[in-house]
């Protein structure tokens, strides 16, 4: 368990006593009169978990003989994080610039609006022109076309960026991502043209020397098939050498060719030519071409996602609609930009409990932190082993942000004996 003034963090895995910790902490606060049951704000991530959390709180108080307090828990606000966001936007609709009675957008309607915006997006045109170049293929087993595959990737990028809140629409988001690609890729060839010409020359020599491939002396069917595939690669380059300017999968295939083994011998001289081709193609990991394509691909995806998001947001606002992501991003923006609203929320609660904290994405974390960091008492519970986003990083962030806040407002950090005890 980690304690920092009014912040209590419980990394609670299976068998670690998470339920017991919540019950005992709340009972202690309530017995000492620093928390009133009806002024508890508790948040989790599913309706079932919210109901279970309320029952945990109630049963803990009943076990300690606090019957009236247990009954008062019914008036506490225990909900999912989306329920919390919707409540904030509804109760403070004027400050949020939103409808006091927004209509929730169903999944089918959401997909329709997004697909309409995507159909008019121009940022994706370079990928649409050559989708296979960027790794998009049809999956006939799933009944997916190349267009379906590309659309799915864009929708995933949109979900990812919306998970960043307002930052997801920041045009400056792309530059550090591209810089990160450069760093990961590392040093590149100084003369990629020479590398490309060397590979073409090695292949042309192979085709001129062995126009039918190296299969003449091979009897094993499996090895014949391998040599046939290699020959197809050679002929593809022979017919259209420009393919080496953009087909990095072809380069990669040329890095691994069949050569003689103990059971199968190719014609004399074949292995030397094949080895020369593989050596020429083996510069691929430092060739700047794949990096350039990767950066173009990322640029198109991010720009397209942001373009679609802008059109989607405008359309929703015009129609008075709201989706699940809006409940989080809108509420986070409201609390971050309007301290009066945030204070009004804090004035109604004595403590904040956030269960399954490891499940927060960045914008969910930001929303909860707008309340948790300023509340008099905050209890965070999460399980490292069940984390998708990584509970340890938010935990460190919590402690770091909490210290920063208490340095700015020291009177709040040590104002009561209860806070000193924590």
- CA-nearest of 313, 53, 292, 29 to 161 is 313
Q: Are residues 399 and 360 in the same domain?
A: yes
Q: Are residues 39 and 68 in the same domain?
A: yes
Let me know if residue 114 belongs to a domain: yes
Which residue range is the domain that position 258 belongs to? Answer: 192-286
Residue 232, pLDDT above cutoff 90: yes
Let me know if residue 72 belongs to a domain: yes
Q: Are residues 158 and 222 in the same domain?
A: no
Domain count, the chain: 3
How far is residue 205's CA from residue 141's CA, in Å, rounded to a whole number? 40
Q: Are residues 180 and 201 in the same domain?
A: no
Look at residue 395 in the predicted model and tell me its pLDDT.
Answer: 43
Report, as an integer, the average pLDDT of 136-149. 87
Residue 247, pLDDT above cutoff 60: yes
Let me know if residue 125 belongs to a domain: yes
How far is residue 5's CA from residue 15's CA, in Å, rounded to a whole number? 26
Q: Are residues 79 and 6 in the same domain?
A: yes
Q: Are residues 205 and 259 in the same domain?
A: yes
| Contact criterion met (CB below 8 Å) for 188 and 285 | no
Let me know if residue 87 belongs to a domain: yes
Q: Are residues 114 and 152 in the same domain?
A: yes
Q: Are residues 308 and 331 in the same domain?
A: no
How far is residue 233's CA from residue 121's CA, in Å, rounded to a whole number? 36
SS (H, E, C) 124-142: CHHHHHCHHHHCCCCECCC
**Sequence-ordered alpha helix ranges (H) in 11-46:** 18-31
How far is residue 383's CA from residue 389's CA, in Å, rounded to a whole number? 11
Q: What is the CATH number of the domain that holds 414?
A: 3.40.50.300
Identify the weakest region by mean pLDDT among 61-70, 178-187, 190-199, 400-409: 400-409
Distance of CA 122 to the CA centre of its chain: 24
Residue 354, strand partner residues: 43, 380
Q: Are residues 308 and 260 in the same domain?
A: no
Q: Are residues 63 and 21 in the same domain?
A: yes
Look at residue 408 in the predicted model and tell me its pLDDT.
Answer: 31
Look at residue 269 in the predicted model and tell me its pLDDT.
Answer: 93
Which residues have C-beta within 8 Å of that of residue 136, sequence separation ≥ 6? 127, 146, 149, 150, 153
Q: Scan for tokens 């960027």, then name that residue.
A: 134
Let me know if residue 291 belongs to a domain: no
10 Å CB burial of residue 245 (0-12, 13-18, 19+) is exposed
Q: For the segment 386-397, what is each residue's pLDDT rounded down to a tens digit?
A: 554 443 344 444
Look at residue 386 in the predicted model and tell me its pLDDT.
Answer: 58
- What average pLDDT does the structure give for the chain? 83
How far is residue 311's CA from residue 211's CA, in Å, rounded to a whole number? 55
Structure tokens belonging to residue 205? 């020599």
Let me know if residue 411 belongs to a domain: yes
Q: Are residues 180 and 304 in the same domain?
A: yes
Let me know if residue 394 belongs to a domain: yes
How do strand 7-11 and strand 2-4 relate by DSSP bridges? antiparallel
Let me know if residue 69 belongs to a domain: yes
Look at residue 93 in the predicted model and tell me its pLDDT.
Answer: 81
Positive or negative, the Cα torsion across 201, 202, 203, 206?
A: positive
Helix axes 107-119, 146-162, angle to 10 degrees: 110
The pairs formed by 259-263 with CB atoms below 8 angstroms and a separation of 24 or more are: 261/223, 263/220, 263/223
Q: Are residues 270 and 198 in the same domain?
A: yes
């Amino acid at each position: 368990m980690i304690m920092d003034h009014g912040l209590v963090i419980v990394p609670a895995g299976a068998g670690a006593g998470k339920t017991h910790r919540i019950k005992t902490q709340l009972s202690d606060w309530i017995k000492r009169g620093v928390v009133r049951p009806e002024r508890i704000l508790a948040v989790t991530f599913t309706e079932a978990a919210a109901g279970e959390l309320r029952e945990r709180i109630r049963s803990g108080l009943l076990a300690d003989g606090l019957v009236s307090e247990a009954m008062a828990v019914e008036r506490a606000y225990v909900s999912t994080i989306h329920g919390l966001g919707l409540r904030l936007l509804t109760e403070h609709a004027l400050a949020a610039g939103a409808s006091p009675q927004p209509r929730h957008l169903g999944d089918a309607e959401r997909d329709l609006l997004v697909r309409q915006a995507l159909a008019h997006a121009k940022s994706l045109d370079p990928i649409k022109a050559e989708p296979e170049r960027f790794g998009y293929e049809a999956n006939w087993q799933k009944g997916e076309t190349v267009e379906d595959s590309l659309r799915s990737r864009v929708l995933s990028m949109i979900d990812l960026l919306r998970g960043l809140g307002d930052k997801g629409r920041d045009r400056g988001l792309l530059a550090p991502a591209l810089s990160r690609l450069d760093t990961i890729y590392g040093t590149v060839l100084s003369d990629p043209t020479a590398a490309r010409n060397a590979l073409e020359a090695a292949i042309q020599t192979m085709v001129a020397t062995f126009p039918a491939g190296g299969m003449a002396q091979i009897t094993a069917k499996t090895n014949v098939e391998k040599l046939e595939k290699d020959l197809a690669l050679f002929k593809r380059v022979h017919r259209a050498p420009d393919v080496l300017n953009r087909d990095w999968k072809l380069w990669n295939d040329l890095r691994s060719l069949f050569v003689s083994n103990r059971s199968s011998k190719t014609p004399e001289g074949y292995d030397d030519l094949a080895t020369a081709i593989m050596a020429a193609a083996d510069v691929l990991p430092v060739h700047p071409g794949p990096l350039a394509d990767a950066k173009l691909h990322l640029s198109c995806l991010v720009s397209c996602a942001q373009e679609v998001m802008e059109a989607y947001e405008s359309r929703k606002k015009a129609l008075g609609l709201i989706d699940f992501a809006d409940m989080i991003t809108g509420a986070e923006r409201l609390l971050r930009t309007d301290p009066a609203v945030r204070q009004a929320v804090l004035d109604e609660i004595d403590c904040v409990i956030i269960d399954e904290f490891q499940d927060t994405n960045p914008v969910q974390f930001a929303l909860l932190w707008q309340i948790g960091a300023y509340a008099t008492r905050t209890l965070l519970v999460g399980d490292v082993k069940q984390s998708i986003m990584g509970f340890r990083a938010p935990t460190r962030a919590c402690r770091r942000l909490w210290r920063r806040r208490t340095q700015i407002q020291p009177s709040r950090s040590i104002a009561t004996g209860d806070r000193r005890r924590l």
